[in-house]
Structure 1
């Protein structure tokens, strides 16, 4: 059983995410911080201290001798993001909304982070790292097929690993019923038409490491 099997949905601020990442410094924590757009913030040390304070107040961290350590659900999130070696970066665009989501996964489990422009983010458990890409595809499907905002709509997913070049794919659903797929990380990659009934299978294949 992974750590995230015991995690309920948790809301964390920018400050608290920074603090949890700082409590367990590692290559995985550094990469997670970069992908979550947290590594370049100004006054980082001050924000980390603010995050530690609120984690203590919320019972998500505690004093252990000379150290502050994450506990309870805070410990679960810290364990995953600090040991992460696989990530998804997702951008979803509809006529009315833009959403950015991330996943981070390790042997400890995986989490989905729904980033908010207001700095309060929802962290949800994913049972295992292997479930990240299927979840990402289903989230894209919910926006491009079932979303309340209508069409056109687009989904971009970038699949990162600790080493090597990430895989990137862009899937678009047009208001006229057309579907197009592009791969690659360039700014305006060329799109090719794909059959509607094969669009998500091809999207997933483009994001799957050999």
Structure 2
């Protein structure tokens, strides 16, 4: 993992994705729960203003376009072909991340409940799922926030049905894996040593 490359607010992301209204941008907006604000002119204007003040967007002819790191993020999000929604939870904590991959690169968004999100570049392709699995494994086996702990990964691809896998680690006994599509899933128990391999296989389906 690299240091944080960029921080962006909800309204900045909303504005950025509206600059390139592709199908992939629409999927990204939906995952970030921002699609409900698509027609909110006040939020759009606020996002545009702060992007310009921060030097992340500038006028180009009659348009305002993203620049530098913001332009890279916008290109990835608007041309995305794969999305991984990662949730890491215990009974008292929750972390949400999104890995978004395209032919021009990939980014990892660490979602904050306060609306200011950290974005950093990551490797695209197969490395994106490997990163998600690594984060889940570290969270479940490290148990830094206690047990039981649960990792959920929802994998969306433009050319395949969405798959979801949920793995719960407990202090003693088998770990619980739930996997399948968004409409139906199966539940199985596995020893801790075997569970992560099964978790990966479910997401590779």
Choose from 45, 53, 58 the match for 2:41: 45
Choose from 190, 195, 199 the match for 1:194: 190
Cα drift, residue 44 of structure 1 = 2.4
In 2, distance between residues paired with 1:46 and 1:193?
49
Query: 2:30 — aligned with what?
Result: 34
Query: 1:73 — aligned with what?
Result: 69
Choose from 117, 121, 126 the match for 2:122: 126
Deviation sequence 1:1-38 (CA, Å, 0-9, x none): xxxx9x95211000110111011111111111111111
Deviation sequence 1:77-128 (CA, Å, 0-9, x none): 0010000010001111123311111111101111111111110011111122
Bigger shift: residues 31-40 or 184-193:
184-193
How many residues are paired up?
Answer: 204
8 A Cα contact 1:94 1:143, kept in partner: no
The answer to whether residue 8 in structure 2 is matched with residue 9 in structure 1 is no
Cα drift, residue 187 of structure 1 = 7.8
TM-score by length of 2: 0.92
> Which runs of at least 4 in structure 1 moved beyond 4 Å after TM superposition?
185-190
Match of 2:75, SS state, is helix
Cα drift, residue 148 of structure 1 = 1.3
Cα drift, residue 185 of structure 1 = 4.2
In 2, distance between residues paired with 1:163 and 1:127?
20
Larger relative contact order (CA 8 Å, sep ≥ 6)? 1
8 A Cα contact 2:161 2:181, kept in partner: no
Cα drift, residue 189 of structure 1 = 4.5
- The 5-angstrom pairing of residues 1-210 of structure 1 reads 9-41=5-37, 44-185=40-181, 189-209=185-205
In 1, distance between residues paired with 2:195 and 2:78?
34
Structure 1 residues without counterparts, runs of 5 or longer = none
In 1, distance between residues paired with 2:178 and 2:170?
14
More strand by share: 2
In 1, distance between residues paired with 2:121 and 2:176?
31
In 1, distance between residues paired with 2:5 and 2:64?
23
